[in-house]
Amino acid sequence: MACTQINPGHTMVISSRCITGCFYSPGGYLECLRDILGSRKMTTAMRDVHGTCGHTSGQWSAAAILCGYFPKSINGRNVQTLTRVFCTPLFGRSNPVMRPFVFSVLVFLASLFSAQAQEATWPGNLVLATEHYPPFSLVDGTGFEDLVAKEVFGRLGISVSFNILPSERVLSRANSGQDDGMLARVGGMSDKYPNLVQFMEPALIREFVVFGREKVEISGWESLKPYRVALLTGWKIFERNITGTASLTKVKYVDQLFAMLDAGRVDLIAYAKLSGIYHANSQGYDGIHPLEAPLATRESFFYLNKKHKNLIAPASAALREMKADGAYQKIFDETIGLLMIDEPIP
């Protein structure tokens, strides 16, 4: 059993075996710290600093380990000074009464270093797959989701670039790891794409509707059955739920979708409400409108490939922070808000 387990919030859970070994055995200090820092390679590095910092009679002390191995500062804290002050006078074998207190200092410093070490493994840049999906994702990277993703990962010191693809390829490349993740899709995509890890915080709430040229009463998925319907390949919420219609056509690109409806080749097209309004207005499709009521309203989430699962917790926290400090609302107002349509914010 390892001395510690570190959860996504960098909180340490320490076993009683570990504490006992660290309090009463010089070798236990080394074993415990090695487990805490999570790398057996660190054992040799710690031995190399033997004698550099306040130990006696060749015995290992926590001060020697910490002062020799930790950097001079972590997040502005002078670690070497702290360990000299607390560890050297107190952690020798002649002071067993103080060991529990000083061990807590050791664990605190080790947890700081563990968090910093994990952060050091984060990539400098992520490539996120997306589709041209105004106003959420644009080829120039200025869509709502583009800007939110840049801000989220920017707060972690990570830059973001985008790979514009058809919808189905977005999913396949993100799941295979060819791209590092993808912009927002409905929750639960990991069930079908097991290599995708969903953010803990939704990026937005999205309404899924059908668009038409004539007024049609829509009251759920079943009400679509009498009509000729078209949708985008890869939009799983539509692919799962639109069945048994008079005809069903799948296309790769949104331009094809609206062109088919405008030409009268289909009766209805399935798409997201805001994106459809944006596209119809920008392309001059004056006679195409969303039909009420929405077929579904779903929270949508960013996803990362599982190779970056260590980023899920801090990135989700950064997204929550954006919503709290107003950065999210500012991006919303400057992109989606320009459509002058109320949209719920998660």
For 142-157, the pLDDT digits (tens) are 999 999 999 999 999 9
Alpha-helical segments (H) within 224-311: 236-241, 254-262, 273-282
> What structural domains and CATH numbers belong to the chain?
4-120 (no CATH), 125-203+299-339 (3.40.190.10), 206-298 (3.40.190.10)
For position 237, what pLDDT does the model report? Answer: 92
- Angstrom distance (rounded) from CA 82 to CA 70: 11
DSSP state of 183: E
For position 119, what pLDDT does the model report? Answer: 53
> Of 227, 259, 261, which is closest to residue 244 (Cα–Cα)?
227
* CB < 8 Å & 24+ apart, contacts of 281-288: 282/134, 283/255, 283/258, 285/258, 285/261, 287/213, 287/262, 288/211, 288/212, 288/213, 288/258, 288/261, 288/262
Which residues, including other chains, have CB under 8 Å from residue 47's CB and lie 6 or more apart? 30
Beta-strand pair 181-186/125-130: parallel
Beta-strand pair 289-305/204-212: antiparallel
> At residue 108, what is the residue type?
F
- Angstrom distance (rounded) from CA 56 to CA 119: 35
For position 107, what pLDDT does the model report? Answer: 56
Low-confidence ranges of the chain (pLDDT < 70): 1-120, 339-346
Which residues, including other chains, have CB under 8 Å from residue 124's CB and lie 6 or more apart? 157, 158, 159
For position 98, what pLDDT does the model report? Answer: 54
- Angstrom distance (rounded) from CA 154 to CA 149: 8
- Angstrom distance (rounded) from CA 345 to CA 161: 25
For position 133, what pLDDT does the model report? Answer: 86
**Whether pTM exceeds 0.85:** no
